[in-house]
Every structure is written in structure tokens, then in C-alpha cells.
Amino acid sequence: MQKSIQEQQQLGCQPVQCQRIFPQKTGSQYFAIINEREDSHPIPTTPGSMIWEQASQQYAEYEKQAAERIQQGHVDDANPWLRRTGWVSYLDSFSSTRLLEYIDMPTMDDEMDPSPVADPNERAIQAIWTAMGQVGQISQQSVIYTGVFVRMEAIRTERHHTRFQPLEAYQDPETIIERVRPWQQMLMFFWRTQEGASDERHPPYRFTPRQQAAWNRLVQIARPVIRPQNPGRSIILQPGQRRPWELSPSPVPSESSSSDEESFTDDDEIDEDIHQNRTPESSTSPLTPIQRACLDFCIELLNQRVVHREYDCALVCAMAVLGVRDRGGWRTPEDYPPILSKVIKLARFMVVRKAMELADPDEEAEPTSSMPEEDWDSAYGGSPSPRPAISKKGCWQWVTQMMDRFMVRGSQGPMQWMLDLRTYGLKIHYNTTTEGHVTWQNDDELLYKDVKFTMRQFRGMVDHTVRDARRILMEDLLQCDPDAVPAIPWDQLYDNPFNEDAQWSFVQDPRTPWPVEGTSWLWQHIQDHSWLRGRFMQADGQGIQHVRWQAFHRRVTAFLEKLLAAVQFTWGQPARAPELLSIRHENSHVGGIRNMFIEDGMVVLVARYHKGYQMSGDVKIIHRYLPREVGELLGWYLWLVLPFQRRIDAWMHQQEDINPHIWASAPWEPAWTSERLRRIIQRESTIGLSGPALNIASYREIAIAISRRYMRAGRAFIRHSEDPSTEDEAHEDEA
């Protein structure tokens, strides 16, 4: 009987391999493993191999989850930076991948889809991202158009402290696109957590009532499709049609009824009215409604006071998400303070812009010594003050009030948190030993991260760059054999570094016996050779072929790129791009005395501009000497090529602007920027080293390692007149 029961169970039941991923909670049930391609004679598996395979799969899943999930560290983890930021405790148990998705840039279409079937949420998030970038650019322009007193106020970090260097805009206006990125990412975080699914778990934060009102206004303006309470009907805006909550501009009030401050109505059912722009005509263009809504929301994020802990502030919560690194882990004191600096500086730009929005356009606005809290509440989001109007306030008064309220230390707000955290991060950075990236192997092989080359390869790269620059100069610009080029009298070169006349350089020194007149030599050389005349001149001899002249310009650009790389490789410690590109070969009305001189038959480049110049206002004088091979190329270009090029450009294009910089571009040519220098260094290093490319930052560290190994006292270069053996004998005699 028992045997028959077992036979029936074997016929009715079939053994199936099962597996489960999670040991408990959701998804912990077992599921069958079905092989879709079962062989007639399957390979027998031992129980041990099956257990090991399942254990490996489950461990791989746990390892992936552990890498993505933020976990509390151990009590003995010595990381003062993370203890200070509080990121781990705030973002505990959240997925780093999901956090990065919160701040990710939205998919930007080439052109917004105006059809009603387009996703309004996707169109709104694109509009907010674009508008925030435009607010950054406009705010920077506002700083340029304001006076020095306003910029002095906007750069303060203490309540009763006067800075001696005003707030400056970024040197390259195009860099604002990258500098405004943290603010754009924070708006994306708020959008995806506020407008996402209600059951989705995200890092907790809370808006203040004024922040919530400003956010609601931004969201409603960003959405092109208005969905009323009746879900079966949508309102499609026609071109030029206003949204229901957007009021028409108020007419200009008379002097008797005008208010000295600008106020908002406070209503829970509808959004706050968009205030009328009152920016003076001499400043930047007016803001659009969505740009103004972005500006107001950012100001409200800053305008908050910490009463319990810093993570009660929504801005601090969003900044914590920016601390998650793309490749896993946390941002360090080396890479997070630059993000703080971007947020802080752009916040100052926006304060200046907001002050221009609130300021009375009357030039005779009376300055006030005190700014009561009620005045600010009345002007920005609060209930109108019942008191009579106070004295008119200009841009400087509004900047002072906003700076004292939430932009300096002592305000107990997000800005103080960012200022203190940046100072703390820099303190850790300067007191911590920097990680070593450069090692030496086999005496002359340098290893830097993923870059590897020998010193012989490095010398070959420099030689190849110099030779290419010389070939372009001779064949394409001077268009003659090297033996026919006039020689530079290096031993008889004179220079007057004290001459302050505009457009004066060493080429004009009358004491130098130049063998030819450099201004007209190349033109005369072209006239003396018929094949060159046919290459440049028109058939009737009355003009220059435009296509040929453009080709000549391209060859000049190619030479200058090679020369730029050669100078960076040979003039000593490599400089940053603004320092190198700021070199002027002749005096100018604004810059004063040039940066290029002749000393003892050598070309000297004196970089004055540096990274911290706009903050400190101090000039650092650094002399760098070019080797003869590189200085000769620069001398020929300034002596024989540049005068010819300038005169033909002036005749063909009526160009009046004479740029004194060595690396100067015409208005129709691309500008010389840091990004362009980076691409040039990468290209030349890839060609010369036949491996991973170098960039500006990596070569600066590599050059320091090379100088420490080959230029220190023990291994420094010895003069040809000195004999090491005689020097050693002299030391022995003295001993």
C-alpha cells in the first residue's frame, strides 16, 4: 500500500529547481527555474555546484544593492568631512542611483513640441532647466551693469565687514553655463520629488509657506497646459494668450498714488501675482515670467533661518544630494567646495538682480539707514504694511538688506551653512596630504594615473611640436626656404621695458639693427615671386583673393596652436589657460605695459594675471624664459608675419580693433579659451606620446614631478664652464 502511494506521488509530482532573490519582505517568495532548452540527456549536476551557483548569484545581487544603497558607517570610521556634512545620516538607506536621477538633466528637445499630446510635465521640467540657466546669465549681466558700491555690498560674508574687492563677474561669460548647473540640478530635485508619484519615497524636506507659494507659482507658469478642477477638460493657451493667474501689467501710477515698495498679494487659492519689472533701461533686459519665478524661488530658498537643525532648510537638503558622486561614494573636500563656490557666487548675482527688480527707478531715491523687517515682508510675499510709505530705496539699499538678512554669517541660514562648510572643506584640503599620482619606474619611466611614458618620449613630443610649428611658419606663412629667412640678431636685440607708449614692443626699438624692415618684408617677398602673386592676388592685380586669404588665416591659426603648446611645454612650470592666453606682446591703453620682453638675448614672458586676481586684486609677477628654438618662432612671427597680416586685414575687412595679445582671434574666428587650450594639449600629447592624452591639470602635476626629479640641487644642470671634478677637489681642499 505504501509503495503504491509513493509511485503515485512520483507520477503526479515533478522535482523543480527553485530560487529566491530576497530572504524576506517583498519579493522573498520562491520561483521555479525553467530551462527553455532542455536536452534529452541533461548534464547531471551535483548538489554542491547548485548551491555554489545560487550563493554566487545571491551575493552578486546583494553586492549590487550594497553599492547603490547608502549605509551608515562604522563608529571607528575616521572621516571628519562626512561627520560634519551629515550626508550619511540624512540619506541613509536611499539608493545613490536614484538620488542621481533626481538631479539629472532632463532630455532637452531641439524644439519644444507645441502639440497638446506632448507630456506637459516633460515640457515643464525642460522649461525650468532652461529658465534657470537664463537667470544665471542675466544675473551675471546685472552685476556687470551695477556700480562698485553695490558689488562691494554683494560680496560681504560678515554683517559688519567691508571687502576691498567688489563682486566680479566670471572672466569668460560662457562659463556661466557650467557654473549655474548646481542650481539647475537642485530645481530638478525639487521637481522630481514634489511632482513625482505620491507613494515614492524620497529624502525628506519641507518648504516654508513662502517657499511653497513661490514653488507653486513656478510650476504653474512652467506648465503650458492648465488643468482646471474639471479633469475632463484642459485649457490650451494660444500664442499671446495669458494664463489665468498671470495679471496684466499695471499702468504706470501717478505720483500721488505711487507706492515706494513693490508688494505681492497673498492668497491661498491662487498663486502670487507676478510683479511688474522696474529695472532701469540701462541694465539688462526684463525677465520673463518663468525667469522671474525661478529667481523668486531661489531667493526664497536662501531666505530661511535654521531654528533646530540645518536639514530643516530645503536648500541644505538639495545640496546634500549634490554630494553624491557619479561613480559612487561621496564628494570629498577637494571636489565639493568648488560646487559650494558656484552656488554662493551665483546666489550673490541673483541678489543683485533681485535688488534691481525691487529698486525704485527714481535716481533721487533717498537712502535709508535702517530696513525694518516689515518693509521686506511687505515687498516680498507678506501682507502689505498698514504703515505709511517709507523713504524710497534703491538697489544698494535692497542689496544691503538682503545681505544682512540671509547672505552673511550670523544669519543662521543656508548661506552661512555653505560658507562655513566651504571653509571647513578647504581646511581639511590644506591639512591633508595629497594623494600621490606620479610614480617613477625604471629610472626614467613616468606613471601618472593611466598615463605612461618615458622621458625620451616626452622630449620627442616637445621636439615634434616645435618642428611642426617651424615647418608651418616657413612653408605656409613666410613661404620661403629657411636659409632665405632673415636672421634675428639675438646678440644685438634691445628692449625698453619702461616705454609705456601704446602699441609699442621690442620690435620698434630703434637701437636694434634689424637686417630688413619687418613691416613690408613679406609683402615685398610676395611681389618678387610671380607664383606667390598668383596665389594671393587677383588676376587684375587689384585685390586679394578672399579664399586664399582665408586659407592663410587658417595656417596662422594652426601655427599659433602649435606655438601655444610649445610654450606651455617649455617655459617652465605650466600656467593655467587665463595666465598663458593673457600674454600681450605690445602695450595697450587698458592693460598698460606688455608681458613680453627681451633680456640677454632671450624671450621673457611675464604672466601677471592669475587665478585669484579677481578676488584679491593683487598681481603676481612670474618670469618665464623661452628656449631659443621657441623664442625664435615667436620673434619671426611678431617681426615678419603679424604686421603683414594686420595691414591686409585692415584693408580687406576694415578692422579697427588691434588686439595686443599674442593669441588673438579675429571677430569671425573662434576665441582662445581654456577649453581650446585643453584640446590642443590633448592633441599634441596624443601624437607625441602615442597613448592617453594629457590635459592642462595633469600636465601641471607631471611637470612638478619632472622638475623635482631632474631640477633639484642634487641633479641640477651644471654650467658648461664648470667641471664637477675640480669643484669636488676644491671642497676636499677646504675640508
- Tell me the whole-structure pTM to 2 decimals: 0.68
Q: What is the mean pLDDT of each run of 10 residues along the chain (735 residues)?
A: 64 70 67 57 57 74 62 56 88 85 83 53 90 94 90 90 82 81 95 73 90 94 57 36 33 31 31 35 70 95 91 94 86 91 95 90 51 52 44 84 92 94 88 79 88 92 95 93 92 92 92 93 89 81 84 94 95 88 89 88 83 57 90 95 90 78 87 91 90 88 90 60 45 39
Residue 294 in grid coordinates: 525661478
pLDDT of residue 716: 55
Report CA torsion sign: 612, 617, 620, 621.
positive
Helix (H) or strand (E) holding 48: helix 47-68
705 CB neighbour count, 10 Å cutoff = 17
State how far the Cα of 428 lies from the Cα of 256, in Å rounded to an integer: 59
Give the CA-trace dihedral at 328, 334, 336, 342, to 10 degrees: -140
- Cα angle 159-163-169, degrees, rounded to a multiple of 5: 110
- The string of DSSP codes covering 685-714 is HHHHHSSSPP-HHHHHHHHHHHHHHHSSGG
pLDDT of residue 281: 38
Separation of CA 696 from chain center: 15
Nearest CA to 73 out of 57, 60, 85 is that of 85
Write down the residue that cell numbers 617677398 correspond to: 525
Inter-residue contact 93 to 69 (CB < 8 Å): yes
Write down the residue that cell numbers 638675448 correspond to: 601
Residue 439, strand partner residues: 447
pLDDT of residue 201: 80
CA distance to 572, 596, 608, 616, 628, per residue, from 622 (Å): 10, 12, 7, 17, 19
Q: For all residues of the chain together, what is the average pLDDT?
A: 78
